[in-house]
Amino acid sequence: MRILVVEDEPLLADAVAQGLRHEAHAVDVVYDGGSALERIDINDYDVVVLDRDVPVVHGDKVCQVLAERKAAIRVLMLTAAAGIDDRVAGLALGADDYLPKPFAFRELSARVAALGRRARPAAPPVLRRAGISLDPYRREVHRDGRYVPLSRKEFAVLAELLRADGTAVSAETLLEKAWDENADPFTHAVRMTILKLRRKLGDPPVVLTEPGVGYRIR
C-alpha cells in the first residue's frame, strides 16, 4: 500500500514509517498538516496515519478535507486524548479508525492493514494466478507448491500484479504503489525488480511485458 504518516514527533513518525516499510508498504512522512495536504493533492494514498494535534493545519481540518475530497483514502487518527468523547469526535470528523497514544506498533500495523483492505476492491485473502499463491499476511509466496523467497519490493510488485488479475499494470503505477516519494521516476528500479521476479519465479515465465503498457501475470 501507499501510506502517508502525519506526525509532529519526528522520532515517532520515523519509527512508524520504518516499521511499515519493513512490511513492504511505500511510506511518506510529513510533520505538519499543511505538508500533509500538499502530499495528498500530489500522491495517491491508500491510508493516512494522522496525528490529531499536528501544527500548521490541525489534524481535524486535514481529516475533514480528506473526507470531503478523497473518499477512497482511509484515515487512522492518532491522539493522546483517549476518552470516549474524543474518539467519537474523531470518528465524526471522518476518520475511519482511532488509536490512542501510546500504542503498540503491532496494533497500528493491523489497523492499517484492515483499512487498506477497505480502501481497495475486495480481494481474496490469498492471491492466486498462474500457479502463484501470495499470502499478504504471512508474507509468503509459492509457485506450484515451491516456496519463493522475495525481497520487500519484489513482494510488493508481485502483489500489485496479482491484484490486477491478468490486466497490465504500468511501471508508473508500480512505482507509485511499491516505492515512496523519494523514488526517481526515471529510475530502472521497476524493470530491475521485474527481472529479479522472473528469475526467482522460474520457468515457464509468468510475468509478461505489454510493450508501451506495462506488465501482467499470464
* Among the listed residues 76, 145, 155, 69, the one whose alpha carbon sits nearest the alpha carbon of residue 112: 76
* Among the listed residues 130, 181, 180, the one whose alpha carbon sits nearest the alpha carbon of residue 158: 130
Return d(Cα 95, Cα 48) in angstroms, integer.
10
| 183 has a pLDDT exceeding 90 | no
Q: How far is CA 133 from CA 128, 141, 155, 163, 165, in A?
A: 4, 6, 11, 11, 12
Return d(Cα 16, Cα 104) in angstroms, integer.
10
Instruction: Report yes or no on whether pTM surpasses 0.75.
Output: no
Least confident of 109-123, 130-144, 153-167, 183-197: 109-123
The residue to which cell 509457485 is assigned: 143
Is the CB of residue 193 less than 8 Å from the CB of residue 182? no
Predicted local confidence at residue 83, as pLDDT: 65
Predicted local confidence at residue 94, as pLDDT: 83
Q: pLDDT tens for residues 100-138? A: 888 999 999 999 998 987 766 555 678 999 999 999 877
Mean pLDDT across the chain, nearest whole number?
Answer: 88
